[in-house]
Amino acid sequence: MRFLFSNIRLRHLAVFILLISSHVSNAQNKEAVKFLVDNENGYFEILLDDTLLIKRYKDSLTVGQHKAQVWSYGYDVKEVEFNVEPGKTTEVYVKLDRSAAFGAYESSYAAYRVKFHKAVTIPISTSLALSLTSGAFMINAYNLRKTVLVDINNYSQTTIPDEIALIKNRVEENNRKYNISRTGFYIAGGLALAGIGTSIYTALKFKRSNPVPVYSKQSPFSDKMSLQFTGTGFVFQIKIG
């Protein structure tokens, strides 16, 4: 067993000694207890008799009356009392109630996500779409330009009147499409750059004006000691300082 001695309180030591003595004297006077904790996340902590902190569904407790406080993230602390009878397994059912503070946090976080979507997600998505559109115009213009250059080369080499007229018409049409694609590239590219600048501005402004809602996950029993007995010994945990 390993301890870190730093500003340890004598009261904790005294309680620890009493717990060890109690365990030795009552080792043959314990029965199984099952805790049926009704919550959604599956995690819970149980503070037994203000001294023993457990985080499991089953344990062995001394025969007699006990009281417990049960807590889980997002739920209020629930107090229960139960009696451990000799020769039988005791089942303790505990239905936890959602914390009003947690409900307020969920509402605040949902509203935060809606604002985040409007201020950050939509501008970024729009900028991305404009960037892709600009890229599509650029690729189309590049391909059309290559086709025009090939036709111009063929135009200079042919002497057949019908073929000359066909190539000429094709060059004029592809050159018109090329100019449209080039214009689309510049317009979409300019809008994309403007969108990126706007996205950065709105994201920074949103971050300054809208802090992320938080809800503490810290257990109300975090400053309590925990003593767990096993078949080969025990584990003792205590907050020092």
Is 190 a member of any domain? yes
Q: Is the domain of 83 the same as that of 146?
A: no
The CATH number given to whatever domain includes residue 231 is 2.60.40.1120
Asked if 238 contacts 225 with a C-beta cutoff of 8 angstroms, the reply is yes
Extract the runs of DSSP E, i.e. beta strands, from 52-166.
52-54, 58-62, 64-71, 78-84, 90-95
Predicted pLDDT at 162: 77
- Regarding whether 48 and 67 lie in a shared domain, the answer is yes
> Does residue 105 sit within a domain?
no
Verify that 90 and 37 share a domain, yes or no.
yes
What are the structure tokens assigned to 173, written together? 């049409």
- Percent of residues, the chain, with pLDDT higher than 70: 81
Residue type, 129: A
Instruction: Look at the chain and report how many structural domains it folds into.
Output: 2
Residue 104 lies in a domain: no
Same domain (yes/no): 20, 72: yes
Are residues 62 and 121 both part of a single domain? Answer: no
pLDDT (tens digit, 9 = 90+) per residue, 66-118? 999 999 999 999 999 999 999 999 999 999 999 999 999 999 999 999 999 99
**91 vs 84: CA distance, rounded Å:** 9
Residue 10, pLDDT > 70, answer: no
Assigned domain for 3 exists: no
Indicate whether 2 belongs to any domain: no
Same domain, yes or no: 222 and 183? no
Q: Is residue 107 domain-resident?
A: no
pLDDT of residue 102: 93
| One domain for residues 67 and 150 | no
Q: In terms of domains, do 202 and 121 share one?
A: yes
Residues 92 and 134 in one domain: no
Give the whole-number percent of the chain exceeding pLDDT 90.
Answer: 52
Residue type, 150: V
Is the residue at 70 inside a domain? yes
Cβ contact 179:173 at 8 Å: no
Domain that holds residue 166: 114-209
pLDDT category at 238 given cuts 50, 70, 90 is very low
**Does any domain span residue 230?**
yes
126 in the same domain as 187: yes
